[in-house]
Chain A
Amino acid sequence: MRIVVCIKQIHHVFGRTGRDETSHYITDNDRVRCINPFDIAALELALGVKDMQRDTEVILLFLGSLSAEKDLRRCLSMGADEICQIETGDNLDGWSKSLLLAEAVKKLKADLVFCGEKSMDSGSGQIGPFMAAHLELPFVARVTDIAVAGTGLPIKVERNCGAGKREIVECGLPAIVSATIGGKIPRYPSMANKRCNSQMSIQKLAVGQPSTDSKVISVRVFPARPRPKRVVPPDSSLHASQRIEQLLRGSNVEKKGEMVTGSPDRQVERILAFLVEKEFLPSLEKET
C-alpha cells in the first residue's frame, strides 16, 4: 500500500513587534518556519496505518522550494520512507497547486492520500477537495482517526463534524483524506531516524505546469481582526476604578455564567453537577 502525505512549509506568525503599519506590524523576526501542524496530524494518521499494515510505504510530498528543511527532515524522522519535491514558482493559487499535487499523486500511484484540513498561514482549506475533484476520488474531511483493513478494502474513518459531533464514515480506496488536529498526538521522532535522515536526498518530481486557468480564485483576503467593540459612555456615578473596568469590559453588565473557584476537586464537582443539571451527562447516581 502506498500512502502519500501532502505537507506544506509555512511561516508561522507568532508576534507583532514591528513598527510598520503596512505590514500589519509583522517583521521577519515574528515568523518561524515550520511544517503545518494539520499536515503533521495527517502524517501521524498515515504512520498509524503503517504501524498496522505490512508493506506500507509513506511518501511525503511538498511543493515549492525548501524553506523549512530542518522541520521537513523532522517529519521524515517521524517514520516516513521517502520525500518528494515538486519544483514550482511561487505565488500559485490553490487550484494550480492542487493540479500539480494531483498529477504527482497519480505518478506516485498512491492508494491513499492524506493532507491537512487547512494550513495555519492561509487557512483556505482548498487543496484536499480540489485534488479530489481533479483525481475524481472520494474525499473525507476533518478526519481524526482511521482504520484500514487492507489494500482494496474500504477504510473506516472517524471524522470531526464540528460542535463536538463525531461521525464514522466508510470509504472505498483509493481516497483522499484530510486530517485535523485533536485526534492522535503526533509521535516524537527518534534520534536514530534523525541521524539517518539528516543526509537523505530529496527526490525531485518532474510535473508539467498547469495549463488550464484556475476555476476558483481567491480575490481578496481580509486579515483577521478583532470584532469591533461598541464603547458605552462610562457611568459617571461610578467609582473611577469601576469606570475603567467598565471601559475595558465594554459594559458594566455582569457577564452571564459563573466562575468556578475552590480546589481542583471542588471545581470538578461543580462542573459535573452543572453538566448533569443541564442533561449533558447522565446522572452520576444512577450509574453508581
Chain B
Amino acid sequence: MLENIIFFDTFVAIAAVTFITVKSFQFSRAIKLGREERLDGTMRSVIRCLVGRGRTFNKNDGGLWYMVLMAAGGVYVMAELALAIIGLHSPFWETFSLFASMVILAGTFYFIAFSVLMKIRRGFWMDMLPIFALFLLALSRIYRHSYHEAIYEKHLFYYFAVLFAAGAFPHGLASMVNIYYKNRGPMGKTRSLSLTSDPLGAATVDELSWKSILDGQACANCGRCQNHCPASLSGKRLSPRKIVQKVLRQTRTTLKESTPQSLHEAISQEEIWACSMCMACVKNCPLYIGHVNIILDLRRRRVLQDGNFPAETYTMLRNLELFGDVQGAGPSNRQQWALDLSLQQVTGKTKPEFLLWFGCAPEYIPHSQTTARNMVRILETAKIPFAVLGREEQCCGDPARRLGEEDIFQNIARENVDRLNALGVGKIIAICPHCFNTMKHDYQDLGATFQVVHATEVIEQLIDEGRLDFKYPIDKKTTLHDPCYLGRVNNLSGCVRKIIDVIPGIDFTELPRNRTDSFCCGGGGAQMWLHETPGNRMSSLRGKEILATDCQLTATACPYCPSMLEAEMKGGDSPAEVKFMDVIDMAAYSIGCDCQG
C-alpha cells in the first residue's frame, strides 16, 4: 500500500510540475512576444484552468459561487487527505471508522450536488457523466479496502476529478468515457442519416452528434492522426487533429456564450473536401476518436442543405442520379465487355451460391474490365456456380455517401437492396473494396439480407480447399499496395498476401507502410472526382514509396489505386517503368486462365 502511495504521490507531483512548467513557459513566451492579446488569452486560460473551464471571475455569471464551492471542495479534499495520511501511519485513527465513513459519504454527496448544480447550470450534462462515474467508483472502493485506503484512493480520484474538471487535463476524463463509448461496430460503417430529420448534417456545434462533441473533449492533441493523414502529409490544409481541436474550441465558446458556434466558420471548405476517408486517423487514434464522422457531418450539411460544394463533383452526382453509375456510361452499356462470356443472369428461379458484383470501375474502365474477366475465369476454373445481375446492376453509392449526398445514396442503395433481396441472393462477391465495404456494412441499415465477401476472400478460400493450381511463375520483384478499404477498414490484408505467397517465383518486398498502416492512393471518399488542391498529390507520395522499393510490379486489389498511382507514375517528367496489377489478375495468370489484357 505504501509503495502505491509513493507511486501515486510521485505521479501527482510530476503531473503538477509539468503543468506548471508548461503554463509558465506559455506565459513567459507571451510576455516575450509582447502581444497584449496573447498575454490576455494566456492569463484568461490560466484563470480558467484554476476556476473552471469556460468560466471567469464574473459575479453575474455565477462564477463567484462556483469559486466558493470549488474552494470548499478543495478544503474538504485537503482535510480528507490529511486524515488519510495520518491514518495510514498511525493505527489510532482506525477506531474512528464510522466517523470516517460518514465523512466520505457526506463528501461524496457534496461533490455530486456540486457537480449537478454547476454542470446543469452550464446546460451540458455530458461533462457531468464522468464525474458521476468516478464517485460511484470511489464509493464501491470503500467496501473493498480499509477505509484509509479508500479515503486515499478516493481523494486521488477527487484530485484528478478537480484537476480534469478545472481544465488542466480535460481530455483525461473525457477520453476514458470516449474509450468506453468507442465505435464497436465495423470501422467502415458510416453513420446513417434519416432524410426527414432536421437539421441534416452539422453546421454548428450542437448539431454534431454527442459522440463527436465527446471526441472533441477527449482529444489529447497528440497528432498521431495528423502524422498518418495522407492529406496532411501531402501538404493540404486538412489535419484531423485540427478538426477535432476546432470542435473542442467551438464547444468551449458555445458553453461560455451559450449560443451555438458555427463550425463552418472554424473549419474551411478546403479542409473538409481534402479528406479521402481512408480511416488512417481513426485507426491510429489512441482514444478512438471518429474524425471522419465530423467531416462527414460537415459534408452532409454542405451538400444537402446548402448545396455549396465543389462543382467538379456535380457531373458525377448527376450521372449517378440519371444513369446509376459514376461514369455516366449508362446501364445498357454495362456488360459490354462480357458479350463473349455468356454469363448466367440471375433470376428469381435459379439460386446459385454466389452473385458476382462488378461495380462501376470494372464495368467501364478497360484495365479493371480485365480484372473482372479474370475473376470470372478463376471462378469458372474452380467450377463455382455464380450468376451476375447484368444490366440491372447499379453503382453501390459509395462515392455519393462519402461525399455527403445521402439522398442519391439512399435512392440507389434502396433500389439495389430491394432488387437483391427480391432475387433471394445469398452471397455477393464484390471485386471493388469500396463496393464490398458499402454493401457489407452500409446496406444493413436498409434491410439487406445477403452476405458480402470480397473476391480475394473467395480466392483465399479456394486456395485453402486446393481447388486452384498455381503453376505459372511470375518472376518479378513485386510489392503490394494495400487498399484502405480492404486492409485497414476490413482487415483483409492477409487474404491478398496469401494469394501472393501461393504464386510461385515472386520476389516479394513489403512497402514501408503496409497492411493496416497502408497509405491512401488518394482516390477514396469521392476524391477521385475532386480536384486535389495545393501541395503534392497523395498519389505522388505513395508513388515515391513504390519507386524506392525498386520493384517492377505492384500488386493492388482495388480499381481506384492503379488509376491514381499509374497516372502519377506515367504523368511525370521521367515516366517510371512500374506495372500495376490486381492480385486477381496475378492469380489468373499463375493459374493459366487469364485473358490477354
Q: Which residue of B lies closest to A26 (CB)?
A: B332
Q: Bound state CA distance, A190 and B404, in angstroms?
A: 12
Chain A contacts of B308 at CB under 8 A? 188
Q: Name the residue in A32, A187, A194 with the highest tally of chain B Cβ atoms < 10 Å from its Cβ.
A: A32
| CB-contacts of A191-223 with B (<8 A) | 191-192, 194-195
* Least CB distance, A271 to chain B, in whole angstroms: 16
Q: Collect the chain B residues with CB atoms within 8 Å of residue A34's CB.
A: 322
Which residues B103-129 have CB closer than 8 A to chain A? Answer: none
From the candidates B322, B333, B571, name the one contacting A15 in the complex (CB within 8 A): B333
A262 interface hit (Cβ, 8 Å) = yes
A182 to chain B, nearest CB (A): 13
Is residue B336 within 8 Å, beta carbon to beta carbon, of the partner chain? Answer: yes
B314 CB–A CB distance under 8 Å: yes
With contacts A190-B305, A191-B200, A264-B571 taken as known, whether A14 is within 8 angstroms of B330 at the C-beta atoms is: yes
A17–B305 touching, CB < 8 Å: no
Residues of B close to A263: CB separation below 8 A: 571-573
Interchain CB contact under 8 A, A17 and B407 = no
Which of B328, B391, B573 has its CB near the most chain A CB atoms (within 10 A)?
B573
Chain B residues contacting A29 (CB-CB under 8 Å) are 331-332, 391
A190/B307 contact (C-beta < 8 A), A15-B330, A30-B332 known: yes
Residues of B within 8 A of A264 (CB): 571
The CA-CA distance from A188 to B299 in the complex, in Å, is: 14
A165 CB to nearest B CB, Å: 25
Given A195-B196, A263-B573, check contact A188 B309 (CB 8 Å).
Answer: yes
CB of B135 within 8 A of chain A? Answer: no
Q: Does A189 contact B (CB under 8 A)?
A: yes
For B339, give the chain A residue with the smallest CB separation: A17
Enumerate chain B residues within 8 angstroms of A30, measured Cβ to Cβ: 330, 332
- Chain A residues 238-277 with CB under 8 Å of chain B are 262-264, 266
Q: How long is the Cα–Cα vector from A189 to B333 in the complex, in angstroms?
A: 28
A68 to B6, alpha carbons, bound, how many Å? 78
Q: Is A185 an interface residue (CB 8 A)?
A: yes
- Is A32 a contact partner of B391 (Cβ separation < 8 A)? no
Contact status B311-A185, CB under 8 Å: yes
Q: Is A15 a contact of B332 with CB atoms below 8 Å?
A: yes
Find the B residue at minimum CB distance from A79: B307
Instruction: Return chain A residues, CB-CB under 8 Å to B311.
Output: 185
Q: Are B314 and A185 in contact (CB under 8 A)?
A: yes
Quote the shortest CB–CB distance from B341 to chain A (angstroms).
16
Cβ of B407: which chain A residues have Cβ within 8 Å of it? 191, 194
Q: Do A17 and B571 have beta carbons less than 8 Å apart?
A: no
Min CB distance B564 to A, Å, is: 15
Residue B329 at the chain A interface, CB threshold 8 Å: yes
Q: Do B306 and A17 touch across chains, with their CB atoms under 8 A apart?
A: no
Known: A15-B332, A17-B332, A263-B572. A32 touches B304 (CB 8 A): no
B203 to chain A, nearest CB (A): 13
Most A Cβ at <10 Å: residue of B200, B303, B330, B571 = B330
A124 within 8 A of B: no
Q: Does B132 have its Cβ within 8 Å of any Cβ on chain A?
A: no
Q: Is A27 an interface residue (CB 8 A)?
A: yes
Could you tell me if A189 and B314 are in contact, using CB atoms closer than 8 angstroms? no
| List of B residues within 8 angstroms of A266 by Cβ | 573
Chain B, range 391-405, C-beta contacts under 8 Å to A: 391
**A190:B304 contact, CB within 8 angstroms:** yes
A223 to B303, alpha carbons, bound, how many Å? 39
Closest CB in chain A relative to B334 CB, distance in Å:
9
- Whether a CB of chain A sits under 8 angstroms from the CB of B160 is no
CA gap between A264 and B531 in the complex, in Å: 14
Q: Chain A: which residue is nearest B573 at the CB level?
A: A263
Report the nearest B residue to A68, measured CB to CB: B322
The one of A17, A71, A188, A262 in contact with B333, judged by C-beta atoms closer than 8 angstroms, is: A17
Bound Cα distance A282, B395 (Å): 47
- Any chain A CB within 8 A of the CB of B195? yes
User: Do A27 and B332 have beta carbons less than 8 Å apart?
Assistant: yes
Interface status of B323 (Cβ within 8 A of chain A): yes
**Cβ contact of A188, chosen from B314, B336, B572, cutoff 8 A:** B314
B 251-308 contacts with A by CB, 8 A: 303-308
- Min Cβ gap B428→A in Å is 23
Residues of B559-574 at the interface with A, using a CB-CB cut-off of 8 Å, are: 571-573
Q: Tell me the bound Cα distance from A187 to B572 in angstroms.
A: 35
Q: How far is the CA of A30 from the CA of B322 in the complex (A)?
A: 12
Contact B323–A32 (Cβ < 8 Å): yes
Whether B303 pairs with A188 at a CB distance below 8 angstroms is yes
Contact yes or no, B333 A14, CB < 8 A: yes
What does the 1/0 interface line of B152-184 toward A look like (CB < 8 Å)? Answer: 000000000000000000000000000000000
Residues of A within 8 A of B330 (CB): 14-15, 30, 32
Question: Shortest beta-carbon distance, A280 to chain B, in Å?
Answer: 25
Task: Check A32–B322 contact: CB distance below 8 A.
Answer: yes
Establish whether residues B305 and A191, one from each chain, have CB atoms under 8 Å apart when the complex forms. Answer: yes
The residue on B at minimum CB distance from A264 is B571
Residues 12-42 of chain A, each 1 if its beta carbon lies under 8 Å from chain B, else 0: 1011010000000001011010100000000
B317: nearest chain-A partner, CB-CB: A188
Q: Which residues of A contact B304 (CB under 8 A)?
A: 190-191
Given A191-B195, A191-B305: A262 and B573 interface contact (C-beta under 8 Å): yes
Q: Are A188 and B307 in contact (CB under 8 A)?
A: yes
| Chain A residues closer than 8 Å to B196, beta-carbon distance | 195
**Can you name the residue of chain B whose Cβ is closest to the Cβ of A14?**
B330
Rounded to whole angstroms, the CA-CA distance of A276 and B156 in the bound complex is 76
A186–B314 Cα distance when bound, in Å, is 9
Minimum CB distance partner of A28 in chain B: B332
Given contacts A32-B322, A190-B307, 7 further A-B contacts (CB under 8 A): A12-B322, A14-B329, A14-B333, A29-B391, A188-B309, A188-B314, A190-B305
Residue pairs across A and B with Cβ atoms less than 8 A apart, 11 shown, are A14-B332, A15-B332, A17-B333, A17-B336, A29-B331, A188-B308, A190-B305, A192-B305, A194-B407, A263-B571, A263-B572
Q: Which 3 A-B pairs have the closest CB atoms?
A: A188-B307, A191-B304, A29-B332
